Structure 1
Amino acid sequence: MLVAAVLAAGPVAGCTASDGPRDDGRGSPSGSPTGRGGPPVLAVKIDNASAARPQTGVDAADVVYAEQVEGGTSRLIAVYATELPDSVGPVRSARESDLELLHQFDRPVLAYSGAQSKLVPLIERAPLETVTPGSEPDAYTRDPGRSAPHNLYLRPERLMDDPPGAAALTTGFRFGRPPADGEPRNELTVRYPAARFTFTWSGARDRWLVSMDGTPALTARGERLAPATVVVQYVTVRPSGFRDFLGNTTPYTETVGSGEATVLRDGRGYEANWSRPAAEDGTSFTTGAGERMTFARGQVWVVYAETP
């Protein structure tokens, strides 16, 4: 099997609790200085249309990326390292900017369903391993209670015996006590042309409750999606050279470079700066005072918003 061959490159870590990546104090979320060389993370491209909700397995991800796609709507990429859920989905198609985003990981496994024919050669040349219904049909299943294309689900246990471990999360994030600055904040909304994300602080849960398009975002069990840290990362979103079947231009989200960000943790908002010098690098965040921005332990959501 494709993924078995990838995992054979290094030892596989056992499943850990889902309270977030560990941090060694040096910026990599592991005991290794770089986190490179071990088994890869699993990244899954997830549908975020209203007909796809509630999604399955998003709450088990270590990192969730939200990006703009055609028509101003949104899609998610869920990255798994410390826990593998039984099912993830609905799984949808890849985009060109996903390749740059995922380059920060060491040959990640990308599960997706479909891509434009002109994009396929770029995916094949990218430093990642792909898992599609065509390449690994036994890893996917259809939910008969949902209509296509919102009914395709990945079964991660058919790809990996165990999660790769926190060392695979080469994101550049640092976890630890909050910085001294920051302002009390109860809510933040990010708007795309045809979608929006709202994050509301819950002191009772010590988490940020997610709403999408004005509706509470739920797990398959009916619980609220609730990350510990939310990053609104302001980036350049430009037209790519690709279009969907309706003729809408596919946006390209530039995740290499530098810019501003807002980080939400512990009921406070922090104005920060981000930097990612090259595609193979993780993204570092600093406060306005120039200190390294630390995240709360637990799931991290990164929402890419267009620079004002």
Structure 2
Amino acid sequence: MRGTVRGRRRGAVLALTALLLAGCGSGGPEPVAAPAPTSTAAPTTAVPTPPPAPQPVAPLTGLPVAAVEARPALAVKIENPPIARPQAGLTEADIVWEQVVEGGTSRFVAVYQSRLPASIGPVRSTRPMDPAIAAPLHGLFATSGGQGQYLSAVVDSGLQLFSFDAGDDGFARQGPRQAPHNVYLDPAPLLAAADADHRAAPAAQFGYAPTAGTQTTVAQGTAASGLDLRLSPEATPSWTWDPVGRTWARSESGTPATAADGARVTATNVVVLRVEVVATDAVDPAGNAVPETLLAGRGGEALVATAGRTVPATWTKGADGDPVVLTAPDGTPVLLAPGTTWVELVPTGGGTVAVVP
């Protein structure tokens, strides 16, 4: 029995020894759990905020608009003797050009794009300088008719021609005036008939100041209360600055000019170009020589009236299809105030321009 006890003790010692050897068999430290992996956020770069899209502006006025009207410019020939006044549609035009025709009276080329009146007129016939005035618009031209050579010149300049004499839609005689002073135009049918080459909006014809106070007349001009012009003995328009309305108000031989709806005829800008006028070989039905204002390939003195101030300038023009370029005294492009513009073509021979302080 003593031997059995000894055997049990010896077995326990051997078992304990085996356990100790097993624990020390690696000869190294107890294993330690690896730390949980950590993630490092990638550096971020701030995305710059894009600048706001530029405000769209009407091409022929420079005025801000929600969107540019997707329609061509329409130039309409309107007469201006006393019997034709007051005319319809003058106050809705973006740009109006005034020219001397036979007999010393004046006619207008009124240009519409941002606004369209329901009626325009009285519409009269075209003259030789009209292509040089309207061709840069690459749009539509409306006239009562005219001599074949002048109508052909309009088409050759790249304009789409519409004529009362040709029976085009949109023209009609209306009372109470007698012919030929009673042709009026509804512009809608002409725009609907524009062909594929004459549907785009026009390019700007003048430069406009981006912000108030940056017009060329403000930076380089002098204060003026009015302009007195003499295109001929029969055409003596004047313009008076209206500081409340911030426009130039037109008068005809001292009488306030109004449109057919009674609204005063005004302009944001008045641009005076001194031009050479020559007699052509053509005559009107009364036997008067048809004059031509020379514009293409020419240049000369100019006067710009904006914001109650005037500044002398120079004008140049390339081919018929090129717009008039106005240059300020310091050699920079003239910047007008956004709004409507009247262009007065005052002959260098016999015409006069006077600034009223």
TM over 0.5: yes
| Paired residues, number | 280
- Aligned residue for 1:93? 125
- Alignment of structure 1 residues 1-308 onto 2, 5 Å: 20-22=61-63, 40-106=72-138, 108-160=139-191, 167-176=201-210, 177-179=214-216, 180-193=219-232, 194-256=234-296, 257-307=298-348
Larger Rg: 2
Rounded to whole Å, the distance in 2 between the matches of 1:162 and 1:124 is 16
Rounded to whole Å, the distance in 2 between the matches of 1:159 and 1:165 is 11
Say whether the 8 Å CA contact 2:237–2:250 is kept in structure 1: yes
Deviation of 1:57 (Å): 0.6
SS at match of 1:119: helix
Deviation of 1:162 (Å): 11
Letter in 1 for 2:277: V
Deviation of 1:104 (Å): 1.6
Cα RMSD after superposing both structures: 2.7
Rounded to whole Å, the distance in 2 between the matches of 1:281 and 1:90 is 28
Deviation of 1:175 (Å): 4.0
Go from structure 1 to structure 2 and tell me whether the alpha carbon gap of 1:172 and 1:205 turns closer, same or farther (over 3 Å shift): closer
TM-score, normalised via structure 2 length: 0.72
SS at match of 1:51: helix
Deviation of 1:110 (Å): 0.9
Q: Which runs of 4+ in 1 moved over 6 A?
A: 16-19, 162-166
Structure 1: 5+ residue runs without aligned partners? 1-15, 24-29, 32-37
Rounded to whole Å, the distance in 2 between the matches of 1:306 and 1:120 is 24
Q: What are the Cα deviations for residues 281-301 of structure 1, in whole angstroms up to 9, with x where unaligned?
A: 111111111122111111100
Structure having greater relative contact order (Cα 8 Å, sep ≥ 6): 1
Letter in 2 for 1:44: V
Structure 2: 5+ residue runs without aligned partners? 1-56, 350-357
SS at match of 1:149: coil
Rounded to whole Å, the distance in 1 between the matches of 2:100 and 2:207 is 22
Rounded to whole Å, the distance in 2 between the matches of 1:101 and 1:175 is 23
User: Comparing 295-304 with 126-135, which one deviates more in the overlay?
Assistant: 126-135
Say whether the 8 Å CA contact 1:172–1:281 is kept in structure 2: no
User: Comparing 283-292 with 83-92, which one deviates more in the overlay?
Assistant: 283-292
Go from structure 1 to structure 2 and tell me whether the alpha carbon gap of 1:70 and 1:159 turns closer, same or farther (over 3 Å shift): same
TM-score, normalised via structure 1 length: 0.83
More helix by share: 2
